[in-house]
């Protein structure tokens, strides 16, 4: 059985690119925003083995109901907040934070454990290599 990777990005072309990259070796579950990513993570439970999260994702929902601070922008669901929530709910697998600001985020988000920061662009081979190394190839 293939290992399952969750990919979340609000940009359809980036989501497609990630899926095409990963689906040759992993089962891929897609989410079009951070809220959907949390829902999929909860649904998959222990069957989820890794995640790729866009840093900045748009979406219409009330984040205060999910335990985020009241001053948190309601239309933005940042990947780091999704990652923190996933960790608080028991997910311990590897997470790739996919962003054009990845180098800056390494320092800003150093509280996140077991996270690889990837700069968007290129063919994304580094993401595949990261999961192959961390999860092993079947």
DSSP state of 50: E
Gap between the Cα atoms of 21 and 123, Å rounded? 8
For residue 91, how many other CB atoms are within 10 A of its CB? Answer: 22
User: How do the domains of the chain map onto residue ranges?
Assistant: 4-135
Residues 99/55, Cβ–Cβ less than 8 Å: yes
Q: What is the pLDDT of residues 65-89, one digit of tens each?
A: 555 555 555 545 678 888 888 998 9
Gap between the Cα atoms of 95 and 32, Å rounded? 17
Count of all residues that appear for the chain in the document: 138
For domain 4-135, the CATH class is alpha beta
**Below-50 pLDDT ranges, the chain:** 60, 62, 75
Residue-level pLDDT at 1 = 57
Residue-level pLDDT at 57 = 78
């Amino acid at each position: 059985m293939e290992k399952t990777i969750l990919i979340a990005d609000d940009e359809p072309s980036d989501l497609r690119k990630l899926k095409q990259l990963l689906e040759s070796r992993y089962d891929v579950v897609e989410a079009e925003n951070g809220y959907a990513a949390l829902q999929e993570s909860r649904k998959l439970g222990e069957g989820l083995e890794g995640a790729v999260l866009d840093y900045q994702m748009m979406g219409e929902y009330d984040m205060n109901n999910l335990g985020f601070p009241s001053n948190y922008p309601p239309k933005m669901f940042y990947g780091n907040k999704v990652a923190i929530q996933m960790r608080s709910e028991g997910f311990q697998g590897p997470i790739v934070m996919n962003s054009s600001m990845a180098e800056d985020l390494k320092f800003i988000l150093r509280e996140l454990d077991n996270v690889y920061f990837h700069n968007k662009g290129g063919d994304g081979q580094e993401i595949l290599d990261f999961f192959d190394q961390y999860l092993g190839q079947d």
